[in-house]
Amino acid sequence: MAASEQRSHDRFAGRWFWRYAAPSQFYPLAGRIEILCWAIAAVLAVTGLYLGLFRAPTDFQQGEVYRIIYIHVPASWMAMIIYLAMAFWSAVGFVFGTRLSFMMSHALAPTGAIMAFVALWTGALWGRPTWGTYWVWDARLTTTLILFFLYIGYIALAAAFDDRRKGDRAAALIAIVGAVNVPIIYFSVKWWNTLHQGASVRPGGSSMATIMLTAMMIMTFSFWAYSIAAAMRRVRTLILERERDTAWARSLIGASTSGRHEATAMKAR
């Protein structure tokens, strides 16, 4: 038993992804990913907004209001993708009991909630001039609203327990069970009669003009990079909060002049 445990430990220890499962190891890596992703997000946002707002032509049916698409579609996609990522890390946390997995899941939730909110808000402002209403209880809109509430429920549940492990697991359960909603959102425009238009982009083709599609995809990658950067920043803070009693965290604040500097600057206020 002990020998096999030792063997499996050796097997795992040799793999880089197990090494980075340790919060202290992941912290500096997350910092580098964060910086890189902020830069990518900014460059792509400027490019995408330039193409979408200044170069893409007026839509022959909808006029200028269609330009909401450059943020509405990326936000809607990210709301779904982030939820799936959250469910994934929650499941990993459940199976392996790794601390960092739950932190990753927690770090994704607020950004996902913001994406869902932006999707609903921009959708309402797009719906009014094109459908004549801000809101309608149809399948796509209702399931997206449910997604938003799932995020809120997850965040509330994670914070509701005094015992952190219980909060982690209860929230993870919501994330995993709620994931069934995501494919329902995606296919809702096919399965039900809905005011919402069908997918403009699907595997094997698109019904959009090339420059519009290009701008939308660039904006999507920008949102993607932004979400990763925000999640990395949040997970680093979570690591600091949860590992504050460890020697590693102490050495971090002692060694890192920027951390010490930031902290003393705060204290001086």
Partner 1 sequence: MMVWDSWSAFWAMGGRGFFVWGSYGVLALCVIAELVVLSRARKRALLAIAEDNPTE
In this structure, the number of other CB atoms found within 10 A of the CB of residue 253 comes to: 14
Which residue, 92 or 249, has its beta carbon nearer to partner 1?
249
Rg (CA), the chain: 22
CB of 222 to partner 1, least distance (A): 11
Query: Which amino acid is residue 253, in one-letter code?
Result: I
Six-digit token string for 54: 């200044």
CB of 17 to partner 1, least distance (A): 25
CB of 240 to partner 1, least distance (A): 4
Under a CB-based contact definition with an 8 Å cutoff, are residues 111 and 176 in contact? no
Which residue, 96 or 241, has its beta carbon nearer to partner 1?
241
Which residue, 97 or 129, has its beta carbon nearer to partner 1?
129
* Residue 201: strand, helix, or coil: strand
Instruction: Report H helices in 51-205.
Output: 69-96, 99-131, 139-160, 164-178, 181-191
Which residue ranges make up the site for partner 1 (CB under 8 A)? Answer: 53-58, 63-65, 67-68, 71-72, 75, 110-111, 114, 117-118, 121-122, 125-126, 128-129, 226, 230, 233-234, 236-237, 240-241, 244-245, 249-250, 252-254, 259-260, 262-264, 266-267
* Residue 109: strand, helix, or coil: helix
Question: How far lies 141's CA from each of 69, 85, 136, 154, 205, in Å?
Answer: 16, 21, 7, 20, 24
Which residue, 32 or 55, has its beta carbon nearer to partner 1?
55
CB of 64 to partner 1, least distance (A): 4
Which residue, 12 or 64, has its beta carbon nearer to partner 1?
64
CB of 217 to partner 1, least distance (A): 18
Question: How far lies 192's CA from each of 53, 123, 139, 141, 203, in Å?
Answer: 32, 18, 7, 12, 20
